[in-house]
Amino acid sequence: MYKRAFAPIALLLLTVPAGTAAQSGVPASEPAVAPEPSKLLDRVLVNQKKEEAALEVYERIEQLETRKGANDPAPASIKISRVIPSGTGMNKIPVDAAGNPPDAAAYRARLEGLEHALALLVNNNRSQRDALEKYAKKRKERNDLIDATRNAFLFIFVAREPRGDRLLAKYEMKPNPAFKPTSRLTSIFPKVHGFVWIDEGSGELARIEGDVTEDISIALFLGKIYKGSHFMQERYEVQLGLWLPTFSQYDFDGRKLFSGFSLHERMLYSNYRYIGPPKEAIEVIRKELGRAELNKTNSTAADP
């Protein structure tokens, strides 16, 4: 739940106050103020909505690294998955570091299960209607959170900083004192402070870092995320005109019921590939299954 709540903050730059002056660290050759706020806002909004939709038609590889502490140099565990949109969520299938299945039979079984689920959707099977409604509800909740960030934060221009061959505009992200939360999830926003970096040329969010400034109640007040918890995300242009997450990090400490917890996760995203909505994705999966069956047949025939 906490990831769902924090992720929208990383999706758009909103409500940049007009006339915000740069701090003294800005190079003399650079403009002293940010672009006209409403125009930058419009561009970022359009781009982020486009890229949110893209996540539903692009598969990817995710590498989840879990650490015992935020500063541990090596992860305690690593899980790598091929993540494929299923029309009602994301199907995660374990793979190795090279993207290959560690267990061919189990991998094939997972693909066959995905093919079956996609077929039900394509054929508008009644059994999938509840799943579609739940997915649509989650999408609406996420969009509502994104919309709420329009007024939840003020963004104060700080400086321009290089990242590779691009120059990013850095903004301080401060809770808007005039914002009135309308839900349990939006009540998190006034308890977050951080910074965002914007690629002005493309109107894209490139990086965000944030800290929890007050304890946050979770799970109907049965737990808390403690003050000082931290999150960040990096986004790059993974294909021409398409910026998507490449790295996320969450370092949360808190309490659930009567037990404390410490969560330290880093996620690397790579190998984005268009697979399409269910009608297109099912054909991709069927072709892959067909190739796997052919390879199996050829391998069996080659055995002495």
Residue 11 has pLDDT above 50, yes or no: no
Conformation bin of residue 161: beta by default, left when phi > 0, alpha when psi is -120 to 50: beta
- With vertex at residue 250, the alpha carbon angle to CA 246 and CA 255, rounded to the nearest 5 degrees, is 160
pLDDT of 24 above 60: no
Is the CB of residue 214 less than 8 Å from the CB of residue 176?
A: no
- Kind and range of the H or E element at 198? strand 192-199
Phi then psi for residue 299, to 5 deg, are -65, -40
Residue range 255-289, pLDDT digits in tens: 887 888 888 999 999 999 999 999 999 999 999 99
Burial 16-25 (b: 16+ CB within 10 A, else e): beeebebeee
Q: Which of 190, 191, 209, 207 is nearest to 199 (CA)?
A: 207
In the three-class reduction of DSSP (H, G, I as helix; E, B as strand; rest coil), residue 44 is classed as helix
Is a pLDDT exceeding 80 seen at residue 28? no
Structure tokens at 136: 């649509």
- Give per-residue pLDDT as tens, 134-188: 988 888 887 777 777 777 888 788 999 999 999 998 988 899 999 999 888 888 8
Residue 116, CB-side half-sphere exposure with 13 Å CA sphere? 7
Separation between Cα atoms, residue 252 and residue 246, nearest integer Å: 20
Higher pLDDT pick, 149 / 79: 79
pLDDT-based confidence at 9, cuts 50/70/90? very low
Contacts of 283 (CB under 8 A, 6+ apart): none
- Is a pLDDT exceeding 70 seen at residue 100? yes
State residue 37's pLDDT score: 52
pLDDT band at 4 (very low <50, low <70, confident <90, very high): very low
Cα–Cα distance measured from residue 101 to residue 267, given in angstroms and rounded to the nearest whole number? 19
- State the burial class of residue 188 (Cβ atoms within 10 Å of its Cβ: 0-12, 13-18, 19+): buried
pLDDT, average across residues 88-115: 94
Is-contact 49 64, C-beta < 8 A? no
d(CA 74, CA 76): 7
Q: What is the mean pLDDT of the chain?
A: 83
For the chain, give the percent of residues with pLDDT over 70: 82
pLDDT-derived band at 20 (thresholds 50, 70, 90) equals very low
68 has a pLDDT exceeding 60: yes
Q: What are phi and psi of 194, to 5 degrees?
A: -175, -155
Alpha-carbon separation of residue 95 from 103, 117, 271, 273 (angstroms)? 8, 21, 13, 16
Query: If you average pLDDT over residues 108-125, what whole number do you get?
Result: 94
Query: What is the DSSP secondary-structure string of 215-264?
Result: -EEETTTTEEEPTT-EEEEEEEEEETTEEEEEEEEEEEEEEETTEEEEEE
Nearest to 242 by CA among 60, 51, 61: 51
- Token pair for 145: 């959170």
Each as own residue / partner, the long-range contacts of residues 47-52 (CB below 8 Å, 24 or more positions apart, any chain) are: 47/202, 47/203, 47/204, 47/205, 47/243, 48/11, 48/12, 48/146, 48/205, 49/146, 51/242, 51/243, 51/244, 52/11, 52/142, 52/146
